[in-house]
Structure 1
Amino acid sequence: MKAYIFDDLEGDQRLPHDSGEQVSVEQLKSIGVLPYPGISLDQVEAIAKERGYKNRDEINVSKEGLGDIYEEKIKGFFREHLHEDEEIRYIKDGRGYFDIREKGDARWIRIAVEPQDLLIVPAGVYHRFTLDSSDFIRALRLFQDEPKWVPHDKSEATDANPFRAQYLQSLKA
């Protein structure tokens, strides 16, 4: 798992877009993002138990896995959005990028994920996701309650979302 500032240059979203400015684990934790690089499924189970994740499913993000809705899903994943639940992903195969807004929302932090990486993205943080140029990732998704994945695209209404407000308050604490 590698984190760095996204270069914001035009071009294929699936390319690394590495500005050369690295982001530390401490910087990620300061915005509520919890990275667990290179861990085993047993370690994932321990984290799931500790954090109260009771349910899970697996997603295959590829042309084969998503079929006719592939292009639509990829575009949707890459729109800036937030969730009202933590987003927890354990990468089983393939590679991709989570882009997370840094404090102040000025720049994107790009987190490159690969097999055996677990990433926890807090509720209320603006983010987006894309595959790398291999166009494939298989991930275990963990949920505290019933599996759901509801994106709230960035807007004035989403800026006022109580989960967004709670997240912003947590940054001040």
Structure 2
Amino acid sequence: DLLELCPGKVENYEEKLKNFYREHIHADEEIRYCLEGSGYFDVRAKDDTWIRIWIKEGDMIVLPAGIYHRFTLDTLNYVKLMRLFIGEPVWTAYNRPQEDHPARQGYIKTLESSGVAVKAH
């Protein structure tokens, strides 16, 4: 499906933007292709600091299931994203803390098995 975010075009714009900016995880990968505009995906590093990823038209991002992240617009205040899903579309966000969620546990296990030292928060 398509997600278009900009003031004046989206019902409950401020509320939606606040929800996207709330730190959360998903049970499945989050796959997004940027059709127009730009924005930021923030993801948590292993030391729990933020890594900011700027996406713009033509960029695709795949966030693994269980990674803490959030999204916000940049100064353009506009983005149109294609949301891609494997299987049935699921938009459920689980706000932090979610250390016991199976997706989070799987993500941590994947990091640890790849040799990344992870400090649980």
With normalisation by structure 1, the TM-score equals 0.63
Which whole-Å deviations, capped at 9, do the CAs of 1:15-70 have from their partners, x for residues lacking one? xxxxxxxxxxxxxxxxxxxxxxxxxxxxxxxxxxxxxxxxxx11111123322x11
Measured after TM superposition, the shift of residue 110 of structure 1 is 0.1
The question of 1:167 aligning with 2:101 is answered no
- Measured in 2, the distance between the counterparts of 1:72 and 1:169 equals 34
| Gap runs ≥5 in structure 1 | 1-56
- Measured in 2, the distance between the counterparts of 1:146 and 1:66 equals 24
| 1:52-67 paired onto structure 2 within 5 Å | 57-67=1-11
Which whole-Å deviations, capped at 9, do the CAs of 1:148-173 have from their partners, x for residues lacking one? 21110002xx1110110000000011
Q: Which residue of 2 aligns with 1:7?
A: none
- Measured in 2, the distance between the counterparts of 1:83 and 1:59 equals 17
Q: Which residue of 2 aligns with 1:75?
A: 18
Which whole-Å deviations, capped at 9, do the CAs of 1:106-156 have from their partners, x for residues lacking one? x1000000000000000000000000011110011100122221110002x
- Measured in 1, the distance between the counterparts of 2:46 and 2:19 equals 23
Question: How many equivalent residue pairs?
Answer: 113
Higher helix share: 1
Measured after TM superposition, the shift of residue 90 of structure 1 is 0.4
Q: Which residue of 1 aligns with 2:117?
A: none
Q: Which residue of 2 aligns with 1:90?
A: 33
The match for 2:63 among 121, 124, 128 is 121
Following superposition, which runs of at least 4 residues in structure 1 exceed 4 angstroms of deviation? none
